[in-house]
Amino acid sequence: MKHVLLALDKSDDRAVAQAETVRDLFDPEHTTAHLLHDFTDNFEGASVGQIAAVRHAANILEDAGIAVEYHETSGTPSKSIIEAADELDVDAITIAGRKRSKAGKALFGSVSQEVILGTDRPVLVCTRKTEQ
């Protein structure tokens, strides 16, 4: 059994890219997808299942026959992702980076980069396939 952590934010495009990657690369009968959303600000008290991007990813995975589990954290996204991956002892982490300039990365940091450098687990950086 493979366990894959999908670190999801509120972007539908990125969530779909991650779900499609897991669906395409892993055997549905032997995979559990752990959908993680980190709430940096959650004044409304929302839960992970209320995030539209998480629901879209779950639908893609469940339609493919992949078991889905939901997880939520609150804090620094990169630290939360790495800690969740360690606690769940996942086989791989998926992330979907944003396109930023070098200056933007320097000013605001990069969750993707921090996760890649902060774990010894395989990290899949997923992008959405474009129609041709």
Q: What is the pLDDT of residues 31-79, one digit of tens each?
A: 999 999 998 765 566 688 889 999 999 999 999 999 999 999 988 999 9
Residue 131 has pLDDT above 90, yes or no: no
Q: Report angle CA 9, 25, 59 to the nearest 5 degrees.
A: 50
| Burial class of residue 40 in the structure, from the number of CB atoms within 10 Å of its CB (0-12 exposed, 13-18 middle, 19+ buried) | exposed
Q: Is 126 exposed, middle or buried (0-12, 13-18, 19+ CB in 10 A)?
A: buried
- The three-class DSSP label of residue 30 is helix
Percent of the chain with pLDDT over 70: 83
**Between residues 3 and 104, the one the model is more confident about:** 3
Give the model's pLDDT for residue 45.
61
- pLDDT for 110-123, tens place per residue? 888 899 999 999 99
C-beta separation of 128 from 57 below 8 A: no
